Amino acid sequence: MDYFLDEEQMMIKDLARQIAEEKVMPIRAELDEREEFPWDIMNILAQSDFLGIYIPEAYGGMGRGGFEFSLAVEELSRACLGVSTTYAANALGTYPILLYGSEEQKKKYLPDIASGRKLVAFALTEANAGSDAAGVQTTARLEGNEYVLNGTKQWITNGGEASIYTVIAITDKSKGARGASAFVVEKDTPGFSFGKKENKLGIRASSTRELIFENCRIPKENIIGKPGMGFIVAMKTLDSSRTGVGAQGVGVAQGAFDAAAAYALERQQFGQPIFSIQAVQHLLADMATQIEAARALVYAVAKFIDSKAKDVSKESAMAKLFATDVAMKVTVDAVQVMGGAGYMREYPVEKMMRDAKILQIYEGTNQIQRNVIGQALIKETAKKK
């Protein structure tokens, strides 16, 4: 689908692929085995201006949008989802500031984010607030000119490595979800610490940690938007970022397909390459078709979101749902095409299959995406009557 990309978009895609092939692929197995945070790769991406793709030029960014960001995510995901998760989570944490931050907050934080001097994390999930995002129990109490945060966030990507955290906390328990607010919390703030680093099935190069707030005091002006807007900030952030997860799905599926197809041309059985066997051809044909369909949907929805459409929840959910389900199916099928070799760690598809599973879970499980789509369809259908 490169034929409709403009010159700058093609440059972003090509450079991301070059970084993925030359810098990420040679060390992806080692990063996975050692659970090593990919600082060197992130620094290379920063030097290439990739951390500011979607940030306006006024704040030091490239001034492009979610579509261009998705192109970069897709190419990195072909090589390693652990690396691309680290990269994509940085944008996830930035969106609350970009969408709802004050001019002062944007000037203070976005230039450092765009340059890569500071990484970002988004802190919504808790032990009792996963799919039920309204179940947040971390509190922020206003005392004079400061908010005092108390609570624990769970499974936060880039936790412990990021310098800036966008955090959702309850400022008025009596209002339920409407009592949540969003804040910027800096890493070295007293009362802010980190719990255990999780040992995961996949995306092992990315850092996933607990955030602990114990009477953590932050300036009143660190609130994002207005008190009570936290749930809106979180949901609009996820609407904006889910095409990035879809792009991850497309990328890892493409990487798995490429590895399986190359193997099928080399592997001889019954006196011929297994690619010549119709059963294998059909597997690969289905994989290729599903990838192209997912790519088309992700690209279309990313462009739709960039058009500043008012409500993108349904389309965003569709892109995330479809592309990540494709990623899981294609990576499993890639292992099947490669047989016993596909199950071995010396080949990349074993890792890709492990990595792909999280795409159906984080940033809203695919069951939740179906709920979002279903509710939108009810409203659309009712309007037609």
Residue 127 is given by DSSP the state: T
Catalytic residue among 68, 126, 350, 363: 363
The amino acid that residue 144 corresponds to is G
* 196 exposure class (CB count in 10 Å sphere: 0-12, 13-18, 19+): exposed
Contacts of 219 (CB under 8 A, 6+ apart): 145, 146, 147
Contact (CB, 8 A) for 99 and 132: no
Q: Could you tell me which of 59, 111, 112, 120 has the C-alpha nearest to residue 87?
A: 120
Alpha helices (H) in the chain, listed in sequence order: 7-19, 28-34, 39-47, 66-79, 81-100, 103-115, 230-266, 278-306, 313-342, 349-356, 366-384
Rounded distance between C-alpha atoms, residue 56 and residue 98, angstroms? 9
Distance between CA atoms of 289 and 172, rounded to whole angstroms? 49
Residue 363 is a catalytic residue: yes
SS3 85: helix
Q: For the chain, what is the radius of gyration of the CA atoms?
A: 21
Residue 51: which of 100, 4, 117 has the closest Cα?
A: 117
Residues contacting residue 299 through CB under 8 Å, at least 6 positions apart: 1, 67, 70
Strand partners, 141: 148
Residue type, 147: Y
User: 13 — phi, psi (to 5°)?
Assistant: -65, -45
Residue 28 phi/psi, 5-degree rounding, is -65, -40
Structure tokens at 325: 């389900």
For the annotated catalytic residues, the residue numbers are: 363
